[in-house]
Amino acid sequence: MAYPVVCALSKRAVILQSSDILAYNELPLHQANSINGNANGNGNSVGGITAMASKSSAPQNIIANAGLSYEDVLNDDFQFDMDGHDVMVFLHIQKTGGTSFGRHLVRDLDLKRPCECQRQRKRCYCFRPHRNENWLFSRYSTGWKCGLHADWTELTSCVDVELDKNEGETAKRRYFYISLLRQPIARYMSEYRHVRRGATWKGSRHWCLGRQATAAELPACYKGKDWLDVDLDQFAGCESNLAANRQTRMLADLALVGCYNKSSMPAHERDRVMLASAKRNLAAMAYFGLTEYQKMSQYIFEETFNLRFAIPFEQHNTTISATAVQNLRPDQKRRIDKLNSLDIELYAFAKTLLFQRFEHLKAKDINFEQRYANLGNIYFKQGVTEFNWDSNVEDGLSTDH
């Protein structure tokens, strides 16, 4: 079969403007989708992000490699090319079920050359069928090469460099960014419980525009080695606690808001720009899933990349964190809702977009009923990972989860 040429991506200068991205918040979802990957008379499209000129503000020149957009993979003849230079980049947001999903990627995909996972090690070799080059950039394949739980800002400026370094040569690769999101309040409570047990994520770099965030920009919420046994009111009371609106921050281009320097613009403006940027980047991603919609997320992944998991994703509607949310005092619930207001709006946007993608793929699939009823049913695959998504969301204690 002849495949259409999709432009391979390498390092590129992308001009992004806060004023233009803000308009994204005001667009209906179908228009928001259409501007990802489609040039118009006012600018040109680069990797799913539109670079436009603005009369109202000076441009920021940012080196970004945002990968191929969802629009790019909608073509009927598209295929993720394991033998070429395609790379899947997993943006792993804490407490969204990413640890379990990451294990799925390295253990349970039906591949010509399965990933080689070593016992007692959190690392697998996920190489292309005919050469020892990585097709997956993730915690369990390459390790945290761009920093612990690297975000969109860090990954898009780092992945290409790290793979060149790792493979000893410069290559023109096509990048496909993937991620998971979770209902914001349940995710926040899960992070609270994880931190209360001693997790810190001190290894995170918080890298933006060539430097790490300073101690003045991100003051510590606690003294000592961890925040063990912190109560919820203290946790929510720390203004520099990155648990609040974590999903929005990790999906946004932080260079647009002065990185971690909150004095660079008014708080309300910073929030609007960050949310609009996160929406745009999410809509441009080749794939994202939602923790609350396992089966739908699995189907969308498999149909998007023409890859099959050898195990079905299970849905468990009751988690410890969901129970904890129900037990919040009214004042605590109001406070946590306010702290995560951007994530709540982003999640609503993501949910609508996920359902749209599902319906689009479903309409194209003449064997949908059979396919959907038999997700993960690859009878000849042996030794697959036992998987319980929501129970694994509550990971055991580890500072690198």
pTM above 0.85, yes or no: no
The predicted pLDDT at position 71 comes to: 76
The Cα–Cα gap between 146 and 296 comes to 30
1 found inside a domain: no
359 found inside a domain: yes
Sequence-ordered list of residues with C-beta below 8 angstroms from that of 118, at least 6 positions apart, any chain: 124
Nearest to 36 by CA among 51, 22, 14: 51
* Cα angle: 226, vertex 227, 231; to 5 degrees: 170
- For residues 89-98, one letter each, b for 16 or more C-beta atoms within 10 angstroms of the residue's C-beta and e for the rest, the string is bbbbbbbbbb
**Strand 12-16 with 60-64, pairing:** antiparallel
The predicted pLDDT at position 36 comes to: 52
22 found inside a domain: no
Stretch (H or E) spanning 274: helix 267-284
Largest CA distance in the chain: 61
176 found inside a domain: yes
Please report, as a single letter, which amino acid is at residue 277. Answer: S
The predicted pLDDT at position 398 comes to: 45
Task: Count the domains in the chain.
Answer: 1
196 found inside a domain: yes
Instruction: Return the residue matching tokens 């690198």.
Output: 400
Low-confidence residues of the chain: pLDDT under 70: 1-24, 26-65, 75-77, 317-318, 379-401
Which two tokens mark 134? 């990585």
Find the domain containing 342 and state its range.
70-374
Nearest to 343 by CA among 150, 181, 200: 181
Sequence-ordered list of residues with C-beta below 8 angstroms from that of 361, at least 6 positions apart, any chain: 299, 300, 303, 304
The Cα–Cα gap between 362 and 6 comes to 24
Rg (the chain; Cα; Å): 20
CATH number, domain of 86, equals: 3.40.50
pLDDT tens sequence across 376-400: 997 644 444 544 433 443 444 445 5
Q: Is 149 considered catalytic here? A: yes
173 found inside a domain: yes
pLDDT tens sequence across 57-92: 333 434 456 777 777 777 666 789 999 999 999 999
Q: Which of 149, 268, 316, 401 is catalytic?
A: 149
Sequence-ordered list of residues with C-beta below 8 angstroms from that of 253, at least 6 positions apart, any chain: 16, 62, 64, 152, 153, 156, 277, 281
